[in-house]
Structure 1
Amino acid sequence: MTSITRRGGGNLTQRNTGSKGADGGKGIEDEENYSPDLNEEDEYETEDSKAKRLTLMEEVLLLGLKDKEGYTSFWNDCISSGLRGCMLIELGLKGRIELEKTGMRRRSLLNRKVQCKSETPTGDVLLDEALKLVKETSNQETTQGWIELLSGETWNPAKLRYQLRNVRERLAKNLVEKGVLTTEKQNFLLFDMTTHPLTDTTAKQRLIKRVQDGVLSRWPNDPHRIEKRLLSLIYLAHSSDVLENAFAPLSDEDYELAMKRVRELLDLDPDAQIGKQGVNDVMWAVIAAFIK
């Protein structure tokens, strides 16, 4: 199992159990007994932490937040669209939205429209707002189109009503309610800003460890054998430019191996993944929108 260490630190070392096999590529020693249906998150969750189970959106934001400062990097202009992609994947995995059927003519994921599959509320305010917009729109959009609309990246004033505002602040407040963050005011010379420093360090360490193990000790050499939420987290954290924060504590050797495996995932063709058992089309359509 991977222990969190500081990459580049002189006295800190790291050992991975089974992170590399004899051929340097195996991450799970007995692949025949590995089942993608097992809940891989259980290993990282205690009874207390299950009450704090985070959404995909909250996990990406938590990776991007500076622990003490309580805000994301001012130079990160990717996380906004990344969080909207997380919403679509969450709705897809929960069975609320789906892609239109292709019929006899096979179309690429990026050309298929998003449809409302179920109007049942998810219980998450942000997800339910996004679901309502998908359900009520008269002109169906692709996953790429919805990411842009929910982010407010449109030149059509009539479509600005689809923008979900203050997403990062609302997600941060959710994390405050779950006891992961706290709320403070910081003065930046010309203005005051509400920040959300980290209070529950174990929650973030657990999240980082899960991401690290996903590409090191538990690497299965097959994306379809990676738990869907973890696979989505790796892709969306990369697209949101926060994945580096999870890999920063690694030793140089493990960092290089982790990045090598992330590049393998990025080189996959999402359209080629469709049709396999257990595949979620919405998840891969969102991934395609970011890596193509």
Structure 2
Amino acid sequence: MSEGIVQRRKAKVEEKNVSSDEKTADDVQASESDSHDDDKMARLTLMEEILLLGLKDREGYTSFWNDCISSGLRGCVMIELALRNRIELEKSGMRKKNLVSRKVILKSDKPTGDVILDESLKHIKETQPTETVVSWIEYLSGETWNPLKLRYQLRNVRERLAKNLVEKGVLSTEKQNFLLFDMTTHPLQNSVMKAKLIKRVQEAVLQRWTNDVHRMDKKMLSLIVLAHASDVLENAFAPLSDQDYELAMRRVRTLLELDHEVECEKKPNPSHDVMWAVFEAFSK
């Protein structure tokens, strides 16, 4: 995991001379802009954040060689539904079923307002008998040998997420010609938003790091683990110095090497159990 990007961009800071009046005006404008961007950031789903980390800024699409992001995004769907209190895991019972054997239970069918999440919620609601987290990730990805389950596949997820980000002012839309075909791409429009997302991920494993995983924000914890599973985490760490990069990756490894069954038992929570089950599914 410490391999990957060999050359990382070094952040460069240029000092600019501005008058005190200009600086004051710029500070006010920047403060208002920051507040507006923070509001937008709060509205981004886990899936949108993963896609944004994996997106090439100028080209407007994810790497053609990345075959992990598809299942990673489906894992995000399950965690997002759990964090929004729509689903949970069945109780482990007297025989103490392991995480990946416990079934996903519908907690509430109240719409989330997100089309992809609501589509997934509808599938979970209609499915009897209930299924495990591992099965749902496979079904939603379309990676199942059971033809009866293919109808659960979420189609065009990356394109739909990109369009959501266009509506939120983060991406734009362009047409690119690739010799034999035209392709709709979504180049980055709001670079400040992506920079803030990257900074939040970096700070989570550097300045804001805690050795107690249960004190970490669950969405940020999920973002780090699933960004790794989706092979896009390197993009967030690329601008770091060599020293910070090694420290960040070492701390990420401690998260990836956790015993999810043990952590789940420390603070039982049916909704958080879904998160631990997703982590376990991607650790195999």
Q: What's the TM-score, normalizing by structure 1?
A: 0.84
Partner of 1:95: 85
Q: Give the counterpart letter for 1:291 in structure 2.
A: S
1:73 alignment partner, SS class? coil
* Matches for 1:59-98 after TM superposition, within 5 Å: 59-98=49-88
Q: Give the counterpart letter for 2:177 in structure 1.
A: N
Partner of 1:147: 137
Do the aligned partners of residues 124 and 10 (structure 1) sit closer, same or farther apart at CA in structure 2, a change above 3 Å counting?
closer
Partner of 1:186: 176
Q: Which runs of 5+ in 1 are unaligned?
A: 1-6, 14-43
Q: Give the counterpart letter for 2:192 in structure 1.
A: T
State how far apart, in whole Å, the 2-side matches of 1:11 and 1:120 are.
44
2:164 alignment partner, SS class? helix
CA-to-aligned-CA distance 1:239-279 (integer Å, 9 cap, x gap): 00000000001001100000000111111011011133375
Partner of 1:285: 277
Partner of 2:23: none
The two structures, once aligned, show a CA RMSD in angstroms of 1.8
User: Post-superposition shift, 1:8?
Assistant: 4.6
CA-to-aligned-CA distance 1:10-67 (integer Å, 9 cap, x gap): 7849xxxxxxxxxxxxxxxxxxxxxxxxxxxxxx962443145200000000000000
Q: Give the counterpart letter for 1:200 in structure 2.
A: N
Partner of 2:212: 222
Could you list the structure 1 runs, at least 4 aligned residues long, displaced by more than 6 angstroms after superposition. none
Q: Which among 49, 57, 60 is matched to residue 38 of structure 2? A: 49
Do the aligned partners of residues 10 and 290 (structure 1) sit closer, same or farther apart at CA in structure 2, a change above 3 Å counting?
closer
2:265 alignment partner, SS class? coil
Partner of 1:124: 114
Do the aligned partners of residues 48 and 235 (structure 1) sit closer, same or farther apart at CA in structure 2, a change above 3 Å counting?
closer
Q: Which among 109, 112, 117 is matched to residue 102 of structure 2? A: 112
State how far apart, in whole Å, the 2-side matches of 1:51 and 1:9 are.
27
User: Post-superposition shift, 1:105?
Assistant: 1.5
Q: Which among 250, 255, 261 is matched to residue 245 of structure 2? A: 255
Do the aligned partners of residues 10 and 201 (structure 1) sit closer, same or farther apart at CA in structure 2, a change above 3 Å counting?
closer
State how far apart, in whole Å, the 2-side matches of 1:48 and 1:92 are.
25
Do the aligned partners of residues 196 and 9 (structure 1) sit closer, same or farther apart at CA in structure 2, a change above 3 Å counting?
closer
CA-to-aligned-CA distance 1:111-140 (integer Å, 9 cap, x gap): 101111111111111100000000101132
State how far apart, in whole Å, the 2-side matches of 1:102 and 1:66 are.
42
Contact 2:99 2:280 in 1 (8 A): yes
State how far apart, in whole Å, the 2-side matches of 1:172 and 1:230 are.
21
State how far apart, in whole Å, the 1-side matches of 2:216 and 2:8 are.
28
Q: What's the TM-score, normalizing by structure 2?
A: 0.87
State how far apart, in whole Å, the 1-side matches of 2:40 and 2:242 are.
35
1:82 alignment partner, SS class? helix
**1:173 pairs with 2:163:** yes
2:88 alignment partner, SS class? strand
State how far apart, in whole Å, the 1-side matches of 2:35 and 2:45 are.
17
Contact 2:171 2:190 in 1 (8 A): yes
Percent identity, please: 69
Do the aligned partners of residues 137 and 256 (structure 1) sit closer, same or farther apart at CA in structure 2, a change above 3 Å counting?
same
Q: Which among 196, 201, 204 is matched to residue 194 of structure 2? A: 204
Would you tell me which structure has more helix in proportion to its own residues?
2
Contact 2:9 2:238 in 1 (8 A): no
Q: Give the counterpart letter for 1:286 in structure 2.
A: V
CA-to-aligned-CA distance 1:165-194 (integer Å, 9 cap, x gap): 000000000000000000000000011000
State how far apart, in whole Å, the 2-side matches of 1:132 and 1:237 are.
26
1:274 alignment partner, SS class? helix
Partner of 1:20: none
